[in-house]
Structures are given as structure tokens and as C-alpha cells.
Structure 1
Amino acid sequence: MADVTIYTTMMCPYCHRAKGLLQKKGVSFTEVDVGMDADKRQEMMKRAHGSHTVPQIFIGDKHVGGCDDLYALDHAGKLDPMLAA
């Protein structure tokens, strides 16, 4: 199973939705709350090539994008193979 990291904030509904999909699939993930941590937010932005909105999701070293991108991968049948790698 691939390592999954999701950068979030506490009150973000898209973050909760993305985490819900991952949980439904039985995927464990590392959550990094960037809400009150400027250093972690800068880390996220660097990894996400400047993207500053949350969530920002990574499967292994691959930047997936946000919640809509995660769901699009799932609907296209591409998410499960990425998670299995």
C-alpha cells in the first residue's frame, strides 16, 4: 500500500470529504494540519508546486491535487491502482 499524506485544516469540508473517501477505501494516511502552522503550510506549498488551498493530497511522492482531483481519479478507476502501488 502506498504512503498517503493529506494536508488539511480542521474546518475544511473538502478535507473531511477527501479523508472520508480514503477511509472508505481502508487507506491509512498521514494527516498534516496546516491551519495554525506556517512552516507546515510552506512545506505543503513547496511539495504542491505553489498550491496553497487544502486539502493537498500525495500518494507516495506523486501530487494528486485536492479533493475533486482525488474523486476524479476514483471515478476514472485510477485511484485504486495508485493506492496499491
Structure 2
Amino acid sequence: MPDVTIYTKSWCPYCQSAKELLVSKKVDFTEIEISGKADERAAMIARAGGRSTVPQIFIGDRHIGGCDDLYALDRRGELDLLLEVA
């Protein structure tokens, strides 16, 4: 399974929802909480191609996008495939 990284803020309901989906699929992920962390936020924005909202989710080196993007992949049956590919 490829590494999964999710950039979050503790108070964000979309972050919580994205994490819940990943947990329900028994996916281990690295959470990077960016609240009040300018360097981490800048790294996220650079990695996400300028997107500054949270969550920003990555599977391996692939930028998935935010919570809605993650759920859309799941609805199309593509999320499980991405999680299986190294």
C-alpha cells in the first residue's frame, strides 16, 4: 500500500470526514496538522499545486485533492485501486 498523507486542521469537519473514510478502509496515514504552522502550510500549498484549503490528501506522490475528491474517488471505485498500487 502506498503512503497516504493528509494535511489537516484540528477544527475542520472535512478533515475529520476524510480521516473517517480512510480509517473505515483500514488505511494507515500520516496526518500533518498545519494550524499555526506557517512552514507546514507553505509546504502543503507547494505540494498541492497552490491549493490552500484543508484537507489536502496524497496517495503516494499523487495529489488526490480534498475531502470531496476523496469521496468521489471512492464512489467511482477508484480509491481502493489507488490504495492497492505501490
Task: Give the structure-1-normalised TM-score.
Answer: 0.99
Q: Which residue of 2 aligns with 1:37?
A: 37
* Superposed counterparts of 1:1-85, under 5 Å: 1-85=1-85
The CA RMSD measured in Å over matched residues stands at 0.3
Structure 1 gap segments, 5+ residues each: none
Tell me the percent identity. 60
- Measure, in 2, the Cα distance between the counterparts of 1:21 and 1:84: 16
- 2:70 aligned counterpart, secondary structure: helix
- Measure, in 2, the Cα distance between the counterparts of 1:63 and 1:44: 11
Task: Give the structure-2-normalised TM-score.
Answer: 0.98
Structure 2 gap segments, 5+ residues each: none
Task: List 4+ stretches of structure 1 deviating above 4 A.
Answer: none
Cα deviation, residue 52, structure 1: 0.2
- Measure, in 2, the Cα distance between the counterparts of 1:17 and 1:25: 13
Cα deviation, residue 2, structure 1: 1.0
Number of equivalences: 85
